[in-house]
Amino acid sequence: MAVEVVMPKLGMAMKEGSVSLWHKKEGDPVTKGEIIANIGSEKIETDLEAPADGVLLKIAVPEGEGVPPGTIIGYIGQPGEQVGTAAAGAAGAKPGENAAADAALPSDAAPAGGSAPAEAPAHGRDIKISPVARKMAEAAGLDIAKITGTGPQGRITKEDVEHAIANAASTPASAGEAAASSDSQASVGSTNPALAAAPSGFVEHAEQIPVAGIRKVIAARMLDSLQQSAQLTLTLRADVTDLLALQKRMSETAQKQHEVKLTVTDFIARAVVLSLKRHKQMNSAYIGDRIHVFDHVHLGIAVALDKGLVVPVIRHADQYSVLDLSRHIKALAQQARSGQLGSDALQGSTFTITNLGAYGIDYFTPILNTPEAGILGVGAVTDTPVYRGDELQRRSLLPLSLTFDHRVLDGAPAAEFLRAVKDALEDPYRLVL
C-alpha cells in the first residue's frame, strides 16, 4: 500500500508550508531517510526525508503551492502501484476542500486513469487554482477561466500558468486583441516598472525563478519594513584594540575550561545588551499607535543561510554573561544551518544584530526587523593609524551602523545608544564583570 508523504508542522505558529524544491521526479526510486524535497514555511526551510523505501508514485503538491501542515503532498510505493484519483485529489486539497471538489465533479467524469480534465467553472472565484498560480496569472493579466488545469480534479497549477504565459508570448495578436494586450501590458507595467521598461524579448529570454519559501517571506518583510517605518541609519567606529587583546587572552581559557570559543560577536552582543538596559527606548517596538518599551532583552542574531537570512532569538539575553551568550549564539546558528531550528525560536526579538564583517563590508544600511525599533549592523575590523594625543598609533577600528525607527525615537537618543555600545566595546573589562 502506498505510503503518504505529508507536509510537516515546523513549529506551533506554522499555518502553511510549501515545497520549495522536489529533489525527485515521479517514478524515481527513493530510500527511507533520503532527502526528497525542501519544505519552507513563513520562517524557516528544512529538508524532508522519505518515510519509506520505494518509488515516488505521485507528486500531489507542486513546488511553490502553499498547503496546511498535515496535507498529503505525495505518495511512495512499489513500482507500478496505482494511486486512486480520490486519494490523489485529497492529497492536493486543503482540509475541508475535498467535499466541495467532489461535488463539483460531473456525474459522467472519467474514471481513474481517464484523460479528460475537469471543465473550468465560469466564475474566477470558483475555479480551483493554487495561490501561487493565481498570483502569477494576475500579474501576467491572464484570464484564469481560459486556462486548462492539469492538477488534481482540474486544479490550475503554476506550470499551467507558465505554459499559458509562454503561449501568449508566442501567439500573434489580432487587431482587436492587440489593444487589449496593450492595456494589459500597461497594467502589468504599472505594477512592475522593470518589466515595462525591458526591451522586446528581454523577459522571454531571462531565467525566471519563482519566489517561494524563505525568499518570499524575506521579500515581503523587507518591503513591509521600509513601507511601514521611518528608518534612519547612524554610523561610527569603535576602537576595539583592547577588546581584541582581551578576547585573545580569554579565548584560550574559555576553550579549555568551558569548551566555548569566544568571538568578537559575543562581546558585541554583551555590549548591546548592556546598552539596551541603559537606553530602554531603543529596546522597544512600534505596534499600532503605541510604543511598547520592554524591560527584558530578547536579542536576535542574524544568520545567513544558502537560501536566505534567518534571525534566531536569544530570550532574556540580559540575564546572560559573555560565555552564556556565546553558547546560545553558536547553538542557534548551528541549528539554523542544519535546518533544526523551529519557527518558535525565530519570533519575539526586541533588537537585532547583523554582522557582515566576514565579507569585508565596512558600513551598510541594515533594514529593521519590524516591529523592532533598532538593528545594529557590524562591519569588518580594520587596522588604521590613529592619533592618540600627539602619538600616531596603529589601532583596530570596528564600523557600526545603527538603523532605528524615527517614529519611536529621535536622532539624539539613538546616537546616545550607539555611543554607549562604542564606549562598552572600548572598555571591554566592563563586559566580563
Decide which of 378 and 208 is more confident. Answer: 378
| Cα–Cα distance for residue pair 211/20, rounded to 1 Å | 9
Domain spanning 229-431: CATH superfamily: Chloramphenicol acetyltransferase-like domain (3.30.559.10)
| Cα–Cα distance for residue pair 7/199, rounded to 1 Å | 41
Residue 242, amino acid: D
CA–CA distances in Å: residue 79 to residues 30, 32, 54, 174, 426? 11, 15, 7, 48, 67
- pLDDT surpasses 50 at 429: yes
- pLDDT surpasses 50 at 106: no
For residue 103, the SS3 value is: helix
- Mean pLDDT, the chain, whole residue set: 81
- pLDDT surpasses 80 at 115: no
Neighbours of 93 (CB within 10 A): 24
Highest mean pLDDT among 60-64, 195-199, 335-339, 429-433: 429-433
pLDDT band at 125 (very low <50, low <70, confident <90, very high): very low
- pLDDT surpasses 60 at 408: yes
pLDDT band at 140 (very low <50, low <70, confident <90, very high): confident
State the pLDDT at residue 132: 67
State the pLDDT at residue 177: 46
Decide which of 205 and 136 is more confident. Answer: 136
Catalytic site residue 296?
no
Top CATH class, 3-116: mainly beta
State the pLDDT at residue 138: 76
**Percent of the chain at pLDDT exceeding 90:** 48
Question: CB neighbours of 22 closer than 8 A, spacing ≥ 6?
Answer: 36, 37, 59, 63
Compute, in degrees rounded to 10, the torsion defined by CA atoms 87, 91, 95, 96.
Answer: -40
CA–CA distances in Å: residue 241 to residues 116, 254, 379, 393, 415? 74, 20, 15, 11, 22
**Percent of the chain at pLDDT exceeding 70:** 78
Q: Which residues pair with 398 in a beta bridge?
A: 238
Decide which of 281 and 220 is more confident. Answer: 281
- 385: enclosing H helix or E strand: strand 382-388
**Average of per-residue pLDDT across 349-376:** 96
**Average of per-residue pLDDT across 137-154:** 78
C-alpha cell at 204: 522571454
- Angle at alpha carbon of residue 111, lines to 108 and 113, rounded to 5°: 140
Catalytic site residue 242?
no
- pLDDT surpasses 90 at 231: yes
State the pLDDT at residue 202: 60
**Average of per-residue pLDDT across 173-194:** 46
Q: Which residues pair with 304 in a beta bridge?
A: 309
**Average of per-residue pLDDT across 108-134:** 51
Q: Which of 344, 406, 423, 427 is catalytic?
A: 406
State the pLDDT at residue 220: 83
* Packing angle, helices 322-337 and 264-278, rounded to 10: 120
pTM above 0.85, yes or no: no
Q: Which of 143, 183, 410, 427 is catalytic?
A: 410
Summarised one tens digit per residue, pLDDT across range 80-99 is 888 755 444 444 444 444 43
**Average of per-residue pLDDT across 20-43:** 86
State the pLDDT at residue 77: 92
The answer to whether the beta carbons of residues 117 and 105 sit under 8 Å apart is no
CA–CA distances in Å: residue 333 to residues 271, 275, 326? 20, 23, 11
**Average of per-residue pLDDT across 138-167:** 77
**Average of per-residue pLDDT across 223-231:** 93
Least confident span in 127-136, 178-187, 273-282:
178-187
Summarised one tens digit per residue, pLDDT across range 320-338 is 999 999 999 999 999 988 8
Going from N- to C-terminal start, the domains of the chain cover 3-116, 229-431
